């Protein structure tokens, strides 16, 4: 059954492009998903179908039609999962480095979603569409660590509200190039698509969203620093982009780091170590911590020896 969401243009929304506005106003709606909804004729005012370049005026009320979800066409796979917490509403998974979160072009199988379908069956939220069941937030393929999964739409909405309100706890550990001058700091710089490389993100004022990362130095080594990063916002590639922006890219990052890779890392040395949230059903605070994975520990040991 389709769902209709009404978006009333407020003063602060006046002049904002429709695709961007929808992505900001609708929970878990990416800009690309908003563009597709608009292109399919699912956004209108008084029966008039809108385009993505439409810029609303104060008082406009947009009817956004969310079509009925299509039947999931992603097969389940018996892939081992390290589950750190689970109940009838959600589970927390410790994702290994190298695993893609959801199916996409070039990655139709072997993803976290394929594994979740085998583990949970039909018990996954449907808010994020047919190829992302249960996925409330994502971490990159080559980032290891904790990820929360919603088993129903109620839990998904409640968890998404916490993320939007920046009350979700997400602490990462990383090894970065160079020696940070301060032991603690905050990077407050907006992130959007790279103006030249569309698969990359960048600190930019154009078509961007605010992004805030707090960091704390855990240890210093010859040419590298072990840091803890806490997300206040959750933009695509946020920690990787922010650390590169201040001149300290993540070790092993093939996209935002130095051209010469760090030997044997095979991707960025970045681990989502702590996740904390209010349980959607009873409001109790839950915080999960995962051990540093073997690749991370091995790299730290090597740094200590230099």
What structural domains and CATH numbers belong to the chain? Answer: 3-66 (3.10.290.10), 69-162 (3.30.2350.10), 169-272+295-304 (3.30.2350.10)
pLDDT tens-digit series, residues 236-280: 999 999 999 999 999 999 999 998 888 888 889 999 999 999 999
pLDDT at 151 over 80: yes
Total Cβ atoms within 10 A of residue 287: 11
pLDDT at 42 over 90: no
Closest CA to 18 of 7, 27, 28: 7
pLDDT tens-digit series, residues 163-184: 888 899 999 999 999 999 999 9
Name which residue leads in pLDDT, 220 or 25.
220
pLDDT score for 39: 87
pLDDT at 28 over 80: no
Mean pLDDT of the chain: 89
pLDDT at 68 over 70: no
Total Cβ atoms within 10 A of residue 273: 23
d(CA 217, CA 183): 5
CA pseudo-torsion sign 18, 26, 212, 238: negative
pLDDT score for 69: 55
Confidence of residue 1 (pLDDT cuts 50, 70, 90): low
Name the pairing type of β-strands 184-188 and 144-150.
unpaired
Annotated active-site residue in 140, 142, 153, 184: 140
pLDDT score for 257: 94
Residues 112-140 have a mean pLDDT of: 85
Name which residue leads in pLDDT, 86 or 76.
86
Confidence of residue 207 (pLDDT cuts 50, 70, 90): confident
pLDDT score for 240: 97
Whether 140 is catalytic is yes
Residues 25-39 have a mean pLDDT of: 78
pLDDT score for 129: 67
CA dihedral 33, 37, 40, 46 (to 10 degrees): -160
Q: Which of 15-19, 53-57, 229-233 has the highest mean pLDDT?
A: 229-233
């Amino acid at each position: 059954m389709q769902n209709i969401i009404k978006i009333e243009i407020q003063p602060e929304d006046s002049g904002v492009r429709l695709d961007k506005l929808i992505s900001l106003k609708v929970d878990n709606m990416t800009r690309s998903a908003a563009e597709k909804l608009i292109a399919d004729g699912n956004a209108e005012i008084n029966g008039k179908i809108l385009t993505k370049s439409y810029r609303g005026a104060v008082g406009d009320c947009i009817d956004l039609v969310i079509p009925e979800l299509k039947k999931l066409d992603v097969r389940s796979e018996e892939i081992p999962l390290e589950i750190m917490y689970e109940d009838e509403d959600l589970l927390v998974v410790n994702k290994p480095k190298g695993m893609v979160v959801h199916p996409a072009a070039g990655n139709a199988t072997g993803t976290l979603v394929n594994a979740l379908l085998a583990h949970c069956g039909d018990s996954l939220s449907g808010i994020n569409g047919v190829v992302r069941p249960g996925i409330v937030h994502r971490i990159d393929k080559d980032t290891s660590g904790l990820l929360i999964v919603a088993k129903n739409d109620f839990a998904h909405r409640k968890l998404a509200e916490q993320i939007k309100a920046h009350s979700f706890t997400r602490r990462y550990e990383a090894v970065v190039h160079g020696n940070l001058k301060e032991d603690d700091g905050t990077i407050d710089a907006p992130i959007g698509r790279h103006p030249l490389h569309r698969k990359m993100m960048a600190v930019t004022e154009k078509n961007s969203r605010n992004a805030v990362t707090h960091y704390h130095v855990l240890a210093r080594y010859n040419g590298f620093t072990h840091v803890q990063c806490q997300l206040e916002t959750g933009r695509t590639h946020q920690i990787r982009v922010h650390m590169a922006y201040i001149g300290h890219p993540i070790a092993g990052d093939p996209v935002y780091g130095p051209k010469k890779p760090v030997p044997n890392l095979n991707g960025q040395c970045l681990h989502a170590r702590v996740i904390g949230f209010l349980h959607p059903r009873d409001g109790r605070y839950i915080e999960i911590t995962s051990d540093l994975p073997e690749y991370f520990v091995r790299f730290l040991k090597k740094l200590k020896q230099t």
